[in-house]
Structure 1
């Protein structure tokens, strides 16, 4: 039972067979995708919910805890034993202790158009909302310098799979067998509703994602040249995104038909 089943039959069959309404639901939250709104929805649909996040400490410099330690703390406290859902900015690899502690864990995530996500991540990292925004502005004076930095590239793929999963076939196989569901921000109503059905509900999204504030430091002119540069530096993310988009497009008509059937008669 995994995401790859979504293209093996009807969407209704996928929902019926792959539903995970009793297991631990683990949302791997990739920065600047659908996370902030989706975490709120997950808390409503699947309590008890735990948001696993770094703790920040403010002094002469900003320091923060390791996400590995925060995952360990939730497990060691016993809170994970009774949890029905959790989320955080942690990778598939870093989530291994969660899967070990809860063998019933089922992971899901959401992606975003790679170019849009990189621009959004860059803009957010230069606002006061981001704890280390001053250091980010100093380190990356331009968006081009940000795009060229290896640690900013292919962030979605690096979150979701090991580094040796690289070819289109390997990427497709990994997400198809290890994830319960993968949605897209660009197909959010469809993605959210299918996720809710898998969790034993039938809901449409109600939360609006947080908007990044506009500042003098985060303006971006999204030119064709800039888009091409981002795409060139994020080829693994592009392959990942296109694979998921193809799968969701395959079931879009089925989903629309299901929505029509679920509407109350006039």
Structure 2
């Protein structure tokens, strides 16, 4: 199966993008919106479960939509009648938490913005609070918040193996975009980075003690990120093509 045939076969699949916050997902969303006509893309509101997400989609929308995007965990495909594949982005976990704190401070529309400002919460206060996510990336891809660390990790890897076309990283966004263009037949279009947090500390400006706390609380995400960060890259594109071909030939997708 050549690349053109792969692109044609994939074009018939529903594309699902579970957007994990602060991973360059808003930028990828803008890219997707430039690739498909507006009526083919459905932007889901924040959903805690795949079922909650599915219940927001009308029957008419299901007939016309080719791509679903939203802050939701893995699993929406279970409630769709057409075959689906997934893509998503992940980010180095420590940098993601730091970026998230400063983004919330800057963004009045964020649900935690008022609380952070009214309590004058520092980065350390945020990291130690109940509002700071722990291992959110692996849990979103696992589609489950429950279970042991091993069970959640195993489920996340299983979902990637079974349903994900590719998983990119925020710090290697352009490479990931090229992978998607090549495998999906997307047009090469320019894009503008979205929701970039301007006034923030870099990792090197944060105390080593606080960095260690973030690492301790996001150990699963760190292991997950390190395992996947080089897997779906241009360097490994032949492997991506081979894997995709096998999935399509075996009718797994």
Task: Tell me the TM-score range normalised by the shorter chain.
Answer: 0.7 to 0.9
| Corresponding residue number in structure 2 for 1:147 | 127
Checking the alignment, whether the CA contact within 8 Å between 2:14 and 2:84 is kept in structure 1 is: yes
Give 1:108 deviation, angstroms: 1.1
Distance 1:233 1:253 in 2: 31
Name structure 1 gaps, 5 residues minimum. 1-11, 55-64, 256-266
| Corresponding residue number in structure 2 for 1:51 | 43
Checking the alignment, whether the CA contact within 8 Å between 2:141 and 2:156 is kept in structure 1 is: no
Give 1:149 deviation, angstroms: 3.8
- Matched position secondary structure for 2:105: coil
- Matched position secondary structure for 1:209: coil
Give 1:39 deviation, angstroms: 0.6
Q: State how 1:212-227 maps to structure 2 within 5 Å.
A: 212-214=197-199, 221-227=205-211
Distance 1:140 1:91 in 2: 31
Checking the alignment, whether the CA contact within 8 Å between 1:21 and 1:198 is kept in structure 2 is: no
Checking the alignment, whether the CA contact within 8 Å between 2:93 and 2:222 is kept in structure 1 is: yes
Give 1:91 deviation, angstroms: 0.9
| Corresponding residue number in structure 1 for 2:137 | 156
TM-score, normalised relative to structure 1: 0.72
- Matched position secondary structure for 2:191: coil
TM-score, normalised relative to structure 2: 0.75
Matched positions, count = 227
Distance 2:221 2:135 in 1: 5
Give yes or no for the alignment of 1:191 onto 2:167.
Answer: no
Distance 1:14 1:155 in 2: 34
| Corresponding residue number in structure 2 for 1:6 | none
Give yes or no for the alignment of 1:166 onto 2:158.
Answer: no
Name structure 2 gaps, 5 residues minimum. 239-253
Distance 1:130 1:147 in 2: 17
Distance 2:2 2:157 in 1: 21
| Corresponding residue number in structure 1 for 2:70 | 88
Give RMSD over aligned pairs: 3.2
What do residues 118-176 of structure 1 show as CA deviations (whole Å, max 9, x unaligned)? 11111112222424411244568232232234551111112111243733655433322
**Cα distance change, pair 130–193 in 1 and its aligned pair in 2 (3 A):** same
Q: State how 1:1-266 maps to structure 2 within 5 Å.
A: 17=6, 20-47=10-37, 48-54=40-46, 71-74=54-57, 76-92=58-74, 95-96=75-76, 98-127=77-106, 128-138=108-118, 141-149=121-129, 152-161=133-142, 162=144, 163-164=146-147, 166-167=149-150, 171-203=156-188, 206-214=191-199, 221-248=205-232, 251-252=234-235
- Matched position secondary structure for 1:211: coil
What do residues 168-193 of structure 1 show as CA deviations (whole Å, max 9, x unaligned)? 65543332223121101111111111
